[in-house]
A and B are shown apart, each in its own frame.
Chain A
Amino acid sequence: MTAPQPQVSSRTHRSQSTRNWGAFAFLAPALLILFLTLVLPGLLTLGMSVTDVSFLRPTSFVGAANYLKLLSDPHFRDAMGNTLYYTVGVTFPTMAVGLLAAVALNRNFPGRIAFRTIFYLPVLTSLIAASVVWMYIYEPYSGLLNGVLVKLGLDPQPWLQSPGLAMPALILMAIWRDFGTAMIIYLAGLQDIPKDIYEAARLDGAGRRDILLRITIPMLSSVSFYLMIILIVQTFQVFGAIYVMTGGGPLGSTSTVVFQMYQTAFAYADFGYAAAMSTVLFLCILLFSILGTRLMPRSRA
């Protein structure tokens, strides 16, 4: 793997502007893997999306038929709506809760590490384990949540059984699982804000809320941007929790794009149509990420 290179160049060009062909040796293994597991499958998916491939019966080319069908498929439209609901419902609260936790923990006090560890624990749970635990928390009769509600004198709710509550219930679990990530990333970001800015603000008599809104949040905008992209990409593809907890129900209220894609492919063996869904989903994620970039122009500064 060693790539010998002329020593002279590094001395003469401070920023190493020589063409270092050895770089490809560094890149090759990773790029090969990415090619095999993402690029090539992506191209195959694109190819499949213009066929009616089922792997069971002979395949034929269908042109844009799958895409046209998607445009008029009411279930796909619902799934898009559900996905957006979930994405927005998880992304922004997760960022907000994560930020608050980070600000609260970004100073010295006894027990700080313990709190930080506790807040991060949910991130570490496996999706299956977390889903199973939360299913039992939401269980209408013997579950924890309704137990607490009844103790407080409130009415128990059919959480995962109600088309109106199932999605919020899933969102709540996702925020619980994700805000630790946001917290850690914000904590790291906070450490990079020069301390003299705070000093200056304090000398000007700024209150803590002012400092949070006028200094901390703007200074963290590039971190927020990064987080937002990561969360959007991730929540757009939500699948596991739905697979385990609701199966897309009740009444399709938690059927998201990836879940529907999965069903189309595996329950109905309609891999061509599922591939078209996948392609559309990719374009949506790309679009949203670009939109995010545009909406946060100052963040790059």
Chain B
Amino acid sequence: MTTGNANSMTGMKTSRRRFLAGVAAGGLTLSVPGLRQASAQSTSGDLVFWSQLAGSKKAAGDDLEAGFTKAFPSIALKSSLYADPSQLNEKLLTAISGNTPPDLFVQHWDYTLNYGSGGKLLAMTDTVAAFGAGALDEGLLAYSSAGGPLISVPLYGTSRGLGFNKALAQAAGLDPASPPKTWEEIRHWAMAMTKRTGSLLQCAGFNLFYNDLGSFELFTLFLQSAGGSMLSDDLKAPAFNGPAGLKALQFLRDLVLVDKVTDVGFGLGTGAAADPFTQKRAGLIVAGNYNINNSLKAGIDFGASAVPLEKGGGYTSYLDPFCFAVPAAASGRAQALEFIKFALSEAEQVKFALASKNVPALKAAQRDPAVQADPLLARFVEFAKYAPTKVPALPVYSRIVPIVARAVLETMYGRKEAEAALAQADVEVRAVLKGA
């Protein structure tokens, strides 16, 4: 789990990628001369840009676009904003099928890999190389390729840790300065912060119910924390249905059904307006970067700490990169590449990170004093380092998420035993991986 490992691995992968790129990806060979030519002359024309930089990232996205328009007056930026990755995905799928894609988009990595799986995206190997070796965070970059050429460039990532409401912790007699370091301490914190009046839950000690993606992440974190992993090393088979998975799921289940640190389904809902944490009605949460802005806005005294390993002595995390990609059919390719270069410049990366509180893709920006001086942002930049170096970069990942989430939720709702739920999910995930 060290960054050194990540370096050597990405290096190995890159050479294989290069080879594959030459053989398989027509897009790459075609695009290289085009790119060179484009960057040589001063670029002008339209740039159609679609993004999901809404919500907590909205201000940062607006700034980025305004900065670009100012720096490149000859490029007419036409941007569209979508509420979330799934909405943007609807747009991109229809646009790609209708051959009317934008010139550039920012999207969640698994969707991007899916578009890339049919050669619908421009290869980005050269664009990434232009930033210099090791300029971009390897952990984030690892999600830009499913074994073939790089087909996207990370703009930012979100990492996961434990978030807690310092005021609630203090009120429960806990010390916000020494957050939980083991599962046992997590359990202790969760139980201490749970508040009920009669049967009515006033405050969940640990908010454990999220939508599919959130439930999936919750389980993944505890699975890793117990020493397991979601998929096998070759990414060809599920690996969660083992002792570590069982232990993790059992732990989560017991928190709900035995320790009753939350109610079944508590806080579940669409839109963050339903988020109990910002209503001061949850003590602990699985936190991502987006929680920073939302909590600050809601006036929460927000604390964050890394997810500890089961018995302590280390941490784990989960990375979720959001990447730029350029459709192969895009006409404004040169403009798109200008935008990527601009957005990944150190100054813009720092600005974007400070405004959105996301982990910047550029390593120099991660180290930047201003970023490091932002206490919460710096923590999440640190958490990113705890994510496993072996990443599940598969186009079918978005199909695995709901299957695993279903098993997790069925167990935590008390509808199924952890063992049976995981076994069922194992069968389904195996089928998805085989079909891929």
Binding site for B on A (CB under 8 A): 54-58, 135-136, 139-142, 150, 155-156, 158, 160-163, 244-247, 249-252, 265-269, 271
> What number of A-B contacts does a CB cutoff of 8 Å give?
79
- B209 proximity list for chain A (CB < 8 A): 161
Provided the pairs A139-B269, A266-B89 are in contact, do residues A56 and B114 lie with their beta carbons within 8 angstroms? yes
Tell me which of B269, B399, B415 contacts A251 (CB under 8 A): B415
A-B contact pairs, 17 of them (CB 8 A): A55-B93, A55-B96, A56-B114, A56-B117, A56-B118, A135-B270, A140-B266, A160-B269, A161-B267, A161-B268, A161-B269, A244-B270, A249-B409, A251-B413, A252-B406, A266-B89, A268-B399
A158-B200 Cα distance, complex, nearest whole Å: 11
Whether B398 pairs with A268 at a CB distance below 8 angstroms is yes
Contacts of B266 in A (CB 8 A): 140, 158, 161
Q: How far is the CB of B406 from chain A (nearest CB, A)?
A: 7
Partner of A56, one of B96, B269, B271, B409: B96
Structural contact, A141 and B399, CB atoms closer than 8 A: no
Smallest CB–CB gap between B394 and chain A, Å? 13
Contact A267 B89 (CB under 8 A): yes
Instruction: State how many angstroms separate the Cβ of B414 from the closest Cβ of chain A.
Output: 11
Write out the residue numbers on chain A whose beta carbons fall within 8 Å of the beta carbon of B212: 247, 249
Contact B86 A267 (CB under 8 A): yes
Report yes or no: B274 in contact with A158, Cβ–Cβ below 8 A.
no
The residue on A at minimum CB distance from B116 is: A56
Interface of B is mostly: loop
| Chain B nearest Cβ from A262, distance in angstroms | 9
A160 to B269, CA, bound (A): 7
Q: Is the CB of A249 within 8 A of B211?
A: yes
Quote the shortest CB–CB distance from A148 to chain B (angstroms): 15
CA separation between A247 and B211, bound complex, in Å? 9
Contact A163 B413 (CB under 8 A): yes
Q: Residue of B at shortest CB range from A245?
A: B270
Answer yes or no: B265 CB below 8 A from chain A CBs.
Answer: yes
Query: Could you list which residues of chain B lie within 8 angstroms of chain A, going by C-beta atoms?
Result: 86, 89-90, 93, 96-97, 114-115, 117-118, 120, 199-200, 209, 211-212, 263-271, 273-274, 276, 279, 281, 398-399, 406, 409-410, 413, 415
CB A55 to nearest CB in B, in angstroms, measures 3
Q: A135-B270, A249-B211 are in contact. Are A57 and B117 (CB under 8 A)?
A: yes
Q: Which residues of B contact A58 (CB under 8 A)?
A: 118
Residue of chain B at shortest CB distance from A142:
B279
Given contacts A156-B200, A158-B264, A244-B270, 11 further A-B contacts (CB under 8 A): A55-B97, A56-B114, A56-B115, A56-B120, A135-B271, A150-B200, A245-B270, A249-B211, A251-B413, A266-B86, A268-B398
Give the contacting residue for B265; candidates A136, A158, A268; CB below 8 A.
A158
Interface of chain A: mostly helix, strand, loop or mixed:
loop
- Residue from B264, B270, B281, B413 within 8 A of A247 (CB atoms): B270
Shortest distance from the beta carbon of B146 to any chain A beta carbon, whole Å: 12
Asked if A250 and B96 make an inter-chain contact with CB atoms under 8 angstroms apart, the answer reads no
Q: Which residues of B contact A160 (CB under 8 A)?
A: 268-269
CA–CA, A136 and B271, complex, Å: 11
Q: Are A57 and B118 in contact (CB under 8 A)?
A: yes
Closest Cβ of chain A to B266, distance in Å, is 7
B409 and A251: CB pair below 8 A? yes
Minimum distance in angstroms from B113 CB to a CB of chain A? 11
B264 touches A162 (CB 8 A): yes
- B185 CB to closest chain A CB (Å) equals 28
User: Which residue of A54, A155, A250, A265 is within 8 Å of B199 (Cβ)?
Assistant: A155
Nearest chain A CB to B101 CB, angstrom units: 11
Q: What's the least CB distance linking A127 to chain B, in Å?
A: 14
What separation, in Å, do the CA atoms of A15 and B271 have in the docked complex? 60
* 8 Å CB contact of A250 from B118, B268, B279: B268
A contact residues around B268 at 8 Å (CB) = 160-161, 249-250
B406 pairs with A246, CB closer than 8 A? no
What distance in Å separates the Cβ of A187 from its nearest Cβ neighbour in chain B? Answer: 36
Q: What separation, in Å, do the CA atoms of A219 and B361 have in the docked complex?
A: 71
* Chain A residue contacts of B120, Cβ below 8 A: 56
Shortest B148–chain A CB gap in Å is 13
Question: Which chain B positions have C-beta within 8 A of A163?
Answer: 413, 415
A160 CA / B266 CA spacing, docked (Å): 10
Query: Which residues of chain B come closer than 8 Å to A158, judged between CB atoms?
Result: 263-266
- With A56-B118, A249-B212 already in contact, the answer to whether A267 and B270 are too (CB < 8 A) is no
CB distance from B202 to the nearest CB of A (A): 9
Write out the residue numbers on chain A whose beta carbons fall within 8 Å of the beta carbon of B265.
158, 161-162, 250
Contacts of A265 in B (CB 8 A): 93
Residue of A nearest to B409 (CB): A251
